[in-house]
A = this chain, B = another copy of it.
Amino acid sequence: MAQPIGRHFLQIPGPTNVPEQVLRAMSAPTIDHRGPEFASLTLDLLEAVKPVFGTTGPVVIYPSSGTGAWEAALVNTLSPGDRVLAFETGHFATLWREMAENLGLEVEFVPGDWRHGADPEAAADRLAADREHRIKAVCVVHNETSTGVTSRIAEIRRALDDAGHPALLLVDTISSLGSIDYRHDEWGVDVTISCSQKGLMLPPGLGFNAVSEKALRVSETAGLRRSYWDWKAILEANRRGFFHSTPATNLLYGLREALRLLDEEGLSNVYARHLRHAEATRAAVRAWGLEVLCLDEREHSAALTAVVVPDGHDADKIRELILDSFNMSLGAGLGKLKGTVFRIGHLGHFNDVALAGTLSGVQMGLELAGVPIDQGGVAAALRVLTGKAGA
């Protein structure tokens, strides 16, 4: 079976399987981005997008990738030479650090083993030590897409509060938004960074910044040069339902439909579904006798699971075999994890039978690749799904 047969299973941790309703919505004709119909679409969208961020404040939407939304968060709030505190949770945290440095910031990077989230105690220590408040922002990746580890944002917030530290809290929710419970307002996040192609179930092409009042205030004097990313001009245009530069109209159509789907299911149901699927996936991994990359029970991602491949096996070869044999894409190990882990995306537009199909594909692939596993993985997952996990 050397060519793709049947429907592709896109089980990378984003882009995710886009619902056909969203794809169809996106295929409506492009309209005048300065006309009344567009204004009405925008005004509705800018409200409808807030609950998924857990905010009542403004959300800025960019034609960009998630990486662009990172850049936007930094250039709107910081000045050249500013220090930011960041955590080496994995590949994307590392990329974010590089970006910050490229933009002229100084990064205090708390080292990590890529198997844990951002350490709230380390945060507390660093902040307490920063008596002069040289740290202007704390940058945390909520859900490390490269490792399947979810950091505890509320505890990072507490560290800031306990230290009485005025730094902004910037959080990357690129692979958590719309999949994992998230609370911009309640957790006192200043800028929440996200994008379209994960839990929001859209193709890539939209970046988001949810912005606190404090962040807005700080942005007025932030010294990094910016134009495309500038919140002020966008928010001003947004008031009348427009954008500062031409928006990605057809992706906005898709966003409207995707938000409708999330709302129809109910966000709490969406989050519970992801938790359940993640639990079933871990049950499968353990039944196979393999190791989940994430080491802290409190930090397992509900969006993806990174699986450690036994010594002597190449995770990328296994993924390639699974793609060729089963028309299913899995996530590669990134950065220093290349070849040693693969990642199963179980986020977005997904359900129990699709998860069962996914895990079956992984199990068959591992077997065909000669990885020594116990065959009971899928069965263990099904037991979790039917609520018989403990029986």
Contacts and interface: CB of A to CB of B under 8 A. Distances in A.
A71 B227 contact: yes
Contact of A203 (B227, B248, B323, B368): B248
A57 interface: no
A68 B206 CA distance: 13
A263 B148 CA distance: 40
B7 A31 contact: no
Copy number in the complex reads: 4
Interface stretch (A15-23, A43-51, A211-219): A15-23
A68 B228 contact: yes
Contacts of A329: 31-32, 35
A108 B76 CA distance: 27
A134 interface: no
Interface stretch (A115-123, A161-169, A352-360): A352-360
Contacts of A358: 353, 357
Interface stretch (A152-160, A177-185, A379-387): A379-387
A249 interface: yes
Contact of A65 (B14, B245, B264, B360): B245
Interface string A62-104: 1111111011000000001000000000000000001100111
A359 B355 CA distance: 12
A353 B9 contact: yes
A224 interface: yes
A33 B15 contact: yes
Contacts of A62: 64
A244 B230 CA distance: 22
Interface of A: 1, 3, 5-10, 12, 14-21, 23-24, 26-36, 62-68, 70-71, 80, 98-99, 102-104, 195, 197, 203-205, 224-228, 230, 244-251, 264-265, 269, 273, 323, 325-329, 332, 349-358, 360-361, 363-364, 367-368, 375-376, 378-379, 382, 385-386, 388
Smallest CB-CB A-B distances: 5 pairs: A357-B357, A6-B351, A356-B360, A67-B245, A205-B248
12 contacts: A1-B351, A6-B351, A6-B354, A14-B246, A65-B248, A70-B228, A99-B228, A204-B249, A328-B353, A357-B357, A360-B360, A363-B382
